């Protein structure tokens, strides 16, 4: 499934972070896609520390690819791997390997 939406630069993505619902996905250097505007439905895929999808970014396009066979009615899930200077976002996915946050692993000794 392709993640589609309005193509914006990082400055605009930063400005839009203040909205109550954020569907912005980084797609490369100074490129982002806002799925809230013209999205394919992929913007509604939820987070899990044990996802059934992974993402690939190729030529500014974002693809969600299945890790395994997905049964009818099964929820689609990716690992958000939130990066940057964002605060730590708690995770409540319930997976056996849940790391407790949706952010990319970081050095917790700092």
Confidence of residue 109 (pLDDT cuts 50, 70, 90): very low
| Mean pLDDT on 50-76 | 96
Q: Is the pLDDT of residue 3 over 70?
A: yes
Write down the pTM of the prediction.
Answer: 0.82
Look at residue 26 and give its three-state secondary structure. strand
Report yes or no: 56 and 16 within 8 Å, Cβ to Cβ: no
pLDDT tens digits for range 44-60: 999 999 999 999 999 98
Domains of the chain, first to last: 2-78 (2.170.270.10)
């Amino acid at each position: 499934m392709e993640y589609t939406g309005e193509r914006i630069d990082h400055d605009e993505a930063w400005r839009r972070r203040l909205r109550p619902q954020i569907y912005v996905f980084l797609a490369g250097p100074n490129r982002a896609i806002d799925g809230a505007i013209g999205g394919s439905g992929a913007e509604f895929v939820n987070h899990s520390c044990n996802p059934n999808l992974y993402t690939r970014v190729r030529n500014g396009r974002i693809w969600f690819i299945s890790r395994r066979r997905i049964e009818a009615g099964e929820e689609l899930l990716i690992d958000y791997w939130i990066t940057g200077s964002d605060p730590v976002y708690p995770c409540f996915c319930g997976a056996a390997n849940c790391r407790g946050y949706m952010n990319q692993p970081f050095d917790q000794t700092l």
